[in-house]
Chain A
Amino acid sequence: MSLSMTRPARIAALRPGPVMLRLLALLGALLLVFALLLGERLFNATAVRSMAFQLPELGILSLAMMIPLLSGGLDLSIIATANLSALAMAFVFTHLGAGQAGMMALACDVAALASGFAVAAAIGLLNGYVIAYLGVSPILATLGSMTMVKGIAIGLTHGNVISGFPAGIVFLGNGSVLGVPMALIVFVLVALPVAVIIGRTPLGAIIAMCGSNQEAVRFSGIDTRRVVLRIYLLSALLSAVAGLVMMARFNSANAAYGESYLLVTILAAVLGGIDPAGGFGKVGGLVMALVILQLISTAANLLGMSQFLTLALWGAILLAVTGVGRLADWLRLRLP
């Protein structure tokens, strides 16, 4: 925030938007209900820590989904990409890294990460090329690449897991620094730059503008095809980070981890105020939505409810929030 900002402007910048207010109200209501139902059982260090361990996977994947959504697109290949790049990393770890020590071990770690991200980048560029240059609708292009990428992963591993990683990787998934889970730190380290890219860079502004009207952006001297290419590249790289975190948490990689997350990431993004038609959305809203979803999940778990009821509640929450919004609109029209 620069110093030249006038006072009202500064207040305006700090003021939460209507989406944020609605999510805050929902979070408050949920906290109240769960406090009454669970009390101490929810608000203790263990429960909070377990939430902090679980949130990052869905969180990073949702970020990977959010960027294409913001541009008016969609990326169905994020989970497949996460798994294939995790498998690439796992392969290098287990084949080159085993038994190495010192500098060589470090070199192997770097090589493993690099190969994972290279795989992701290739998928992202393929998606971007097919969407931007061939004009295929994002949902169809990524539906195809999702099937193919997952197919490659299954073909290479025959559906088996690759496991056994160096301690550093396991720490990434299960360790903590000063009581804060490493996975959460990774999430923050990823979410902050994404928030900055979307909210504070020319690219972010262009992505949102593209979400509303790509042709008008192209007429303004911006190479929108390269923008689209970057969107799907970014999405794939974020998926690779998610793959790394999942791999670290399970201490194994597999072609089919986290598949149930795919449609949930769209749910989380839309709940977080990202317009599914594109053009509008903030990382802050998405994070709020993730916290709400995680809170429901943990509370349901503590109440002894099945994880599937959580799934149902997630779907219901999105419909309910939208429904309340519509009801408010309707009332505003009726009441002077």
Chain B
Amino acid sequence: MREMGRGFARSHEARLLLVVVVLGGFLALATPSFASLQNLVDLLTSNAFSGMLAAGLLVVLVSGGIDISFTATASVAQYAAMTVANHSHIGWLGVAAIGAGLGSLLGLFNAVLIGTLRLSSIIVTIATLNLFYGLLMFVTRGDEIFALPDWFVNGASWTVYTDAQQAEYAITLPMLGLVFAFALTAILLKRSNIGRQVYALGSNADAAARVGIPVFRLNLLIYGYMGLIAGLASLVQAQNAQSVSPNALVGRELDVLAAVVLGGASLTGGVGSVFGTILGVMLLAFLQNGLLLLGVPSYWSPCFTGAVILVAVSLLAIERRRQQGRVRRVSA
């Protein structure tokens, strides 16, 4: 763990943590409801979907690639899993298996195209976004699924706390999904050799091939993992929304990208951490929630989000440049 502790004070994560804590503290003082358990639980639940996707996207960004297609992947997985669930009793495991399986399959499809077409991952996944989404809308004719099975609608939850007003606080599936995605990604990136290979690939792709990393197979794993997470996240989203709409998710891919990048992941690869990503997601979630609680009309919320992204990426770039200058002086 000392690997993580070293130099933490001057890392991007530390500064981001400070920003998130200050913002959270300010909102807790300025609004009565921000720090309430109810609000925090709602925040966790409503951000579970984008948080999970951010965890998956982090792995792709660390490897030096990018994936734009995951919202379409999620839509396909969600629609298929819920359609099957409506026709036969497959239970939670069955739904999860279909979502995760279909998601990984589409992720593998991306990886195969990136490996064989030698086209940059952003172009390939823009194309597959259109492909997956177009086919889904064509096949489903855009029909929403309003009636989900009762067991799915009711969900599963474990009440852990009941307050004075008899309001129950429960651990819900979306929360578990979120924790699962971040924990799995953290173990993968930090604790497994495959994760270190992902960092190595993003750090120097030529060298990765030279030291014997099977790059094509590793890419299968990276994009497959993104798809798997997207498939599972789509179920969390369906549980939150209590319905399935084939066009509800596409268009949110760039918001997720923004959260991961705010968390310090670099588009050039090799850099990024789960902790930073969590903070990036939290920052955007706090901001939107806080503006609402402060009484700022919801219409203005995207404008603030955009401004924060712009300022944050500018500060990151300035800082990175300063660091590079320092290294150049050392080596000169």
**Interface, chain A (partner B; CB < 8 A):** 76, 130, 134-137, 139-141, 143-152, 154-155, 158-159, 259-260, 263-264, 266-267, 270, 276-277, 305-306, 308-316, 318-319, 322-323, 326
Contacts and interface: CB of A to CB of B under 8 A. Distances in A.
A155 B300 contact: yes
Contacts of B309: 140, 143-144, 147-148
A253 B128 CA distance: 30
B254 A312 contact: no
- Give the dominant DSSP class at A's interface: helix
B130 A312 contact: yes
A66 to B, nearest CB: 14
Contacts of A277: 120
Nearest to B136: A308
B68 interface: yes
- Give the dominant DSSP class at B's interface: helix
Nearest to B117: A322
Contacts of B254: 76, 143, 146-147
Contacts of B113: 319
B117 A326 contact: yes
Interface string B75-116: 000000000000000000000000000000000000001001
Interface stretch (B204-212, B237-245, B273-281, B314-322): B314-322
A106 to B, nearest CB: 34
Interface stretch (B137-145, B172-180, B186-194): B137-145
B221 interface: no
B286 to A, nearest CB: 16
Given A306-B138, A308-B137, A316-B131, A139 B267 contact: yes
B305 interface: yes
B303 A152 contact: yes
B137 A311 contact: yes
Interface string B285-328: 00000000000010111111111011011101110110000000
Contacts of B320: 135
B251 interface: yes
Contacts of A143: 254, 257-258, 261, 309, 313
Contact of B303 (A130, A154, A315, A323): A154
Interface in B245-273: 251, 254-255, 257-258, 261, 267-268
B127 interface: yes
B29 interface: no
B39 to A, nearest CB: 23
Given A134-B318, A267-B126, A319-B131, A306 B141 contact: yes
B329 interface: no
Interface of B: 68, 113, 116-120, 122-124, 126-138, 141-142, 251, 254-255, 257-258, 261, 267-268, 297, 299-307, 309-310, 312-314, 316-318, 320-321
B127 A309 contact: no
B306 A314 contact: no
A297 B130 CA distance: 14
21 contacts: A134-B317, A135-B318, A136-B313, A137-B267, A137-B268, A137-B317, A140-B261, A140-B309, A146-B254, A147-B306, A151-B302, A154-B300, A155-B297, A158-B299, A308-B133, A310-B134, A312-B130, A316-B127, A318-B127, A319-B131, A322-B117
Contacts of A146: 254, 306
B135 to A, nearest CB: 5
A315 B306 contact: no
Contacts of A264: 130
B316 to A, nearest CB: 8
A144 B309 CA distance: 5
A259 B251 contact: yes
B38 to A, nearest CB: 27
A320 B29 CA distance: 57
Nearest to A318: B127
A202 B306 CA distance: 35
Contacts of A149: 306
B313 A141 contact: yes
B117 A147 contact: no
A276 B121 CA distance: 11
A270 B135 CA distance: 21
Given A315-B129, A322-B117, A306 B299 contact: no
